[in-house]
């Protein structure tokens, strides 16, 4: 069912309640479109709840956040939206709190790191929906040919990249700092150098000494030595880097679970290890979550809550995670997946999730900071670029955007 979201959720005299949900598409074609997932889930729910009808519209990730924003600004907010951010809507007072709609067992089942990232001023508004972490992927065939072992430190990584370059590998290390997912690659490297976007008390620290050291090292030891391939990092997007890895043209890159399928389908033999850090394996890794939100506009608090309890059942969380190669956002599903034979390839990512750090998505300023990272960070590692200056510019953006928001 594809609903046209022309109005608010409606309550009919005899037809019960219609809930409207807007969701993002995690599929890569019609065969595994998220529309198929939601249609099947809704059919199951409606069979048990005949007085509630759920209309679902799925948009691509390129469009979904904008579509929801347009609906909200036109006064036609959906009942629920599964999107990339939530804090701006929470700040505007448009969302139900998690405990307004979810039962206590469901809310308590969220993985703690994800639940914490869903909070604004210590109140949870963002309901984690899908998660992933990052590990270092490497091409086993290329490593064997060059006589290499997987790197554990930055020095190991640089030496491996030099050896791969000597073997004629197109991208010894793929560094996608292009606008598609620059904030993720940026944060992964910040964490591996002992930094991050924020400090221990949650204040932005983009231009910290640790981060400046990290990007100076990238500029001098990888990019400046021609070890990141023919496309400048600031113009290399994640999708292109993943495609190049699946084509056998990349020696190493940071990747999330979906890369396993893409590489396997192309016959690439790959390995995965913890992200290398400045002096050994990185102590922290990047965690990423997408969010379910419940809007107050149409007043269907009870019906929304009942439907979301169903969405977050262990069975449904597992089905979604397995369909799209993502990590479950609940402890119960994570526990099941960590011991299931069919999910053994995801175990490295599940282990990393418990140690992961997420974007500061609870700050309403994060959207501005993220946009500035996408715009500028490639300049930090370009030949002749100044990491201190570029990171300082992004820090200024964070402060101006209201960094404590």
pLDDT tens track for 53-99: 999 999 988 789 999 999 999 999 999 999 988 999 999 999 999 99
Burial of 6 (0-12, 13-18, 19+ CB in 10 A): exposed
- Across 18-32, 71-85, 243-257, 269-283, least confident range: 18-32
pLDDT at 1 (0 to 100) = 30
**Portion of the chain with pLDDT greater than 90, in percent:** 77
Distance CA 184, CA 190 (A): 10
Longest dimension (CA), the chain: 73
Are 186 and 378 a contacting pair, CB within 8 Å? no
What would the pLDDT profile of 382-394 be if each residue is shown by its tens digit? 999 999 999 999 9
110 with 315: CB under 8 angstroms?
no
Q: How many CB atoms lie within 10 A of CB 240?
A: 16
In this predicted structure, the answer to whether residue 230 has a pLDDT above a threshold of 90 is yes
**CB-based contact 287:87 (threshold 8 Å):** no
The pLDDT score that the predictor gives to residue 5 is 33
Residue 323's Cβ-count burial label (10 Å; 0-12, 13-18, 19+) is middle
H or E stretch at 347: helix 347-353
pTM reported for the whole predicted model: 0.83
Residue 49: how many other CB atoms lie within 10 Å: 16
Residue 246's Cα: distance from chain center in Å? 20
Work out the pLDDT band at 4, boundaries 50, 70, 90.
Answer: very low
Q: Measured in Å, how far apart are the chain's first and last C-alpha atoms?
A: 38
Give yes or no for residue 6 having a pLDDT over 70: no
Residues 6+ apart with CB under 8 A from 259: 137, 242, 245, 246, 270
Q: Check if the beta carbon of residue 21 is closer than 8 Å to that of residue 77.
A: no
Cβ-based neighbour number of residue 402 at 10 Å:
12
**Cβ atoms < 10 Å from Cβ of 224:** 15
């Amino acid at each position: 069912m594809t609903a046209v979201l022309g109005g608010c959720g409606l309550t009919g005299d005899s037809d019960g309640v219609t809930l409207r949900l807007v969701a993002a598409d995690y599929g890569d074609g019609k065969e595994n479109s998220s529309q198929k997932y939601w249609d099947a889930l809704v059919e199951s729910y409606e069979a048990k709840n005949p007085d509630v009808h759920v209309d679902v519209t799925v948009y691509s990730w390129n469009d979904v956040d904008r579509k929801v924003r347009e609906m909200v600004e036109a006064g036609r907010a959906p009942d629920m939206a599964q999107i990339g951010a939530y804090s701006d809507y929470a700040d505007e007072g448009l969302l139900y709190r998690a405990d307004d709609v979810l039962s206590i067992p469901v809310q308590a089942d969220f993985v703690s790191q994800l639940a914490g990232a869903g909070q604004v001023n210590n109140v949870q508004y963002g309901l984690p929906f899908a998660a992933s972490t990052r590990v270092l992927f490497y091409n086993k065939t290329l490593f064997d040919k060059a006589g290499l072992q997987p790197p554990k430190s930055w020095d190991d990584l640089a030496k491996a990249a030099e050896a791969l370059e000597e073997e004629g590998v197109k991208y010894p290390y793929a560094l996608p700092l292009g606008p598609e997912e620059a904030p993720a690659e940026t944060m992964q490297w910040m964490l591996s150098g002992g930094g991050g976007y924020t400090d221990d008390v949650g204040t932005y620290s983009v231009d910290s000494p640790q981060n400046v050291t990290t990007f100076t090292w990238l500029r001098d030891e990888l990019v400046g030595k021609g070890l990141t391939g023919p496309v400048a990092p600031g113009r290399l997007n994640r999708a292109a880097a993943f495609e190049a890895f699946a084509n056998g043209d990349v020696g190493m890159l940071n990747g999330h679970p979906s890369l396993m399928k893409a590489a396997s389908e192309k016959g690439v033999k790959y390995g995965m290890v913890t992200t290398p850090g400045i002096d050994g394996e990185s102590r922290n890794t990047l965690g990423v979550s997408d969010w379910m939100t419940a809007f107050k506009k149409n007043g269907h608090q009870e019906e929304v809550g009942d439907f979301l309890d169903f969405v977050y059942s262990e069975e449904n969380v597992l089905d979604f995670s397995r369909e799209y190669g993502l990590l479950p956002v609940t402890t119960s599903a994570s526990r099941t997946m960590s011991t299931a034979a069919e999910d053994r390839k995801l175990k490295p990512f599940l282990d990393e999730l418990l140690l992961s750090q997420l974007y500061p998505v609870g700050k309403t300023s994060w959207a501005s900071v993220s946009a500035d990272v996408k715009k500028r960070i490639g300049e930090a590692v370009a030949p002749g670029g100044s990491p201190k200056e570029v990171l300082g510019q992004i820090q200024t953006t964070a402060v101006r955007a209201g960094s404590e928001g």
